[in-house]
């Protein structure tokens, strides 16, 4: 009897950090954890690292110090995380809005934009009331506006993978396949 199980992509040899970029709710943290496990790499979440360093939540940091201060701290944390060996890093949705952070990711990592439709982002991002940029106004309007503004930044990623509603395993497998293709093209260039 033939196996009906789909063949998983072969894990590529990773020689530098992989930075997952995209909007809140795209699945960067959930996919990142699974991707790191599949690639046998450490996983780091920039927001969690910021919270640990600051001793308060991202929402509290936004409230007490503002977004500009948060972005400066985020840039420092991402710089530290990217200075080591290969990891899978889930960045915050607005990380690329800081030019220095965007340049650092471009120079030191393989960036992967996890792209998702507005409806999927809203459904995922509003599950918990921890998103500081969704504290006021209509979440769908806010996400649509942020996505429109940030899409040109996300489009600079080395790899783009679509995340759809449903399980994240499909997204993880798509990233692994895209990484293998990217690294193969890079090795012949």
- Alpha carbon distance 29, 32 (integer Å): 5
Domain of 68, CATH number, reads: 3.40.50.300
Range 119-134 average pLDDT: 68
Residue 100 structural domain: 18-188
- With respect to residue 78, please indicate whether it lies within any of the assigned structural domains: yes
- C-alpha Rg value of the chain to the nearest Å: 17
The pLDDT tens digits of the residues spanning 7-62 come to 455 677 899 999 999 998 888 999 999 999 999 999 999 999 988 988 888 878 88
- With respect to residue 7, please indicate whether it lies within any of the assigned structural domains: no
- With respect to residue 10, please indicate whether it lies within any of the assigned structural domains: no
- Alpha carbon distance 143, 134 (integer Å): 8
Q: Quote the number of domains for the chain.
A: 1
- Alpha carbon distance 30, 170 (integer Å): 12
Taking the whole predicted model, whether its pTM rises above 0.85 is answered as yes
Q: Which two tokens stand for residue 98?
A: 């800081």
Q: Taking all residues of the chain, what is their mean pLDDT, rounded to a whole number?
A: 86
- With respect to residue 4, please indicate whether it lies within any of the assigned structural domains: no
The pLDDT tens digits of the residues spanning 138-181 come to 778 888 988 999 999 999 999 999 987 667 889 999 999 999 99
Work out the widest C-alpha separation in the chain, in whole angstroms.
62
Q: Which of 102, 105, 136, 96 is nearest to 18 (CA)?
A: 105
- With respect to residue 47, please indicate whether it lies within any of the assigned structural domains: yes
Q: Hey, CA dihedral for 187, 189, 176, 89, is it positive or negative? A: positive
Q: Which two tokens stand for residue 124?
A: 């995922």
């Amino acid at each position: 009897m033939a196996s009906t199980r789909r063949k998983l992509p072969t894990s590529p040899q990773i020689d530098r950090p992989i930075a997952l970029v995209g909007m809140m709710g795209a699945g960067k943290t959930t996919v990142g954890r699974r991707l790191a496990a599949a690639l046998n790499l450490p996983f780091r979440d920039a927001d969690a690292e910021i919270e640990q360093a600051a001793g308060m939540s991202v929402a509290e940091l936004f409230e007490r110090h503002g977004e500009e201060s948060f972005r400066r701290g985020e840039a420092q944390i991402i710089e530290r995380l990217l200075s080591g060996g290969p990891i899978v890093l889930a960045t915050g949705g607005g990380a690329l809005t800081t030019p220095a952070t965007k340049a650092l990711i471009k120079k030191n990592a393989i960036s992967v934009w996890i792209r998702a439709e507005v409806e999927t982002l809203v459904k995922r991002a509003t599950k918990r009331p921890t998103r500081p940029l969704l504290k006021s106004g209509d979440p769908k309007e806010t996400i649509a506006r942020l996505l429109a503004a940030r899409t040109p930044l996300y489009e600079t990623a080395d790899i783009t993978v679509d995340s759809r509603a449903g399980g994240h395993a499909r997204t993880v497998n798509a990233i692994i396949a895209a990484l293998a293709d990217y690294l193969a093209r890079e090795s012949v260039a």
